[in-house]
């Protein structure tokens, strides 16, 4: 099974764990790091609403806290919406921290298949990142 399909499967499995009693939307994400390891996450909502975390960021928190790698190669986001969802702006900003704008791929999918694939830089072309903080 190819990596993209493995990531999609992991994202679909994660989606089933969504804690989304408020929006009732289920989202799953899976990421591939450049050490070959995969991490997944689901959206986790909170009664305060503002405490909600998207599936993509849950997957990234897991990867960064459990892996030495700091480079995301591929991302798959799965929802059961007819038009699959791209990552929200805040997730794009977090992905930017660990992405190669030219190389990192973002796939949007429904539970059955991947519908669209973007290069990261096409989703967030002028990303604010660490290079702006260099002295
Ligand atoms: N959500 C994600 O998990 N990822 C996104 O990129 C967009 C939004 C979640 C957050 C919330 O639980 C629900 O979808 C509705 O916004």
CATH number at residue 41: 3.40.140.10
What pLDDT was estimated at residue 6?
Answer: 98
Q: How far is the CA of 54 from the centre of ligand 1 (A)?
A: 5
pLDDT digits (tens, 9 = 90+) for 68-123: 999 999 999 999 998 999 999 999 999 999 999 999 999 999 999 999 999 999 99
Q: How confident is the model at residue 32 (pLDDT cuts 50, 70, 90)?
A: very high
Closest ligand 1 atom, residue 22 Cα: 12
- Is the distance from the beta carbon of residue 43 to the nearest atom of ligand 1 less than 6 Å? yes
- Is the distance from the beta carbon of residue 117 to the nearest atom of ligand 1 less than 6 Å? no
Please give the tally of structural domains in the chain: 1
- Is the distance from the beta carbon of residue 44 to the nearest atom of ligand 1 less than 6 Å? no
Q: How confident is the model at residue 40 (pLDDT cuts 50, 70, 90)?
A: very high
Measuring from atom 10 of ligand 1, which residue has the nearest CA?
Answer: 54
> Rounded to the nearest 5°, which phi and psi values hold at 122?
-80, -20
Residues annotated as catalytic are 56
- State which H helix or E strand residue 79 sits in: strand 72-79
Mean pLDDT confidence for 15-27: 98
Measuring from atom 8 of ligand 1, which residue has the nearest CA?
Answer: 54
What pLDDT was estimated at residue 133?
Answer: 97
**Dihedral sign of CA atoms 82, 20, 74, 39 in order:** negative
Edge to edge, the sheet with strand 72-79 lists 38-42, 27-33, 72-79, 105-109, 114-119
> How many residues comprise the chain?
135
Largest CA distance in the chain: 47
Q: State how far the Cα of 74 lies from the Cα of 109, in Å rounded to an integer.
A: 13
Q: How far is the CA of 19 from the centre of ligand 1 (A)?
A: 11
Q: Which pair of structure tokens corresponds to residue 33? A: 């790091």
Domain residues for the domain of 86 are 3-133
């Amino acid at each position: 099974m190819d990596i993209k399909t493995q990531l999609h499967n992991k994202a679909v499995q994660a989606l089933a764990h969504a804690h989304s009693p408020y929006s009732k939307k289920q989202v799953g994400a899976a990421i591939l790091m450049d050490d070959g390891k995969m991490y997944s996450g689901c959206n986790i909502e909170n009664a305060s609403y503002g405490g909600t975390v998207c599936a993509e960021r849950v997957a990234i928190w897991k990867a960064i806290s459990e892996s030495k790698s700091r480079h995301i190669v591929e991302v798959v986001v799965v929802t059961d919406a007819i038009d699959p969802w791209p990552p929200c702006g805040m997730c794009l900003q977090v992905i930017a921290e660990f992405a190669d704008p030219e190389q990192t791929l973002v796939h949007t999918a429904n539970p059955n298949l991947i519908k669209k694939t973007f290069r990261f830089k096409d989703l967030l072309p002028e990303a604010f990142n660490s290079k702006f903080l260099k002295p």
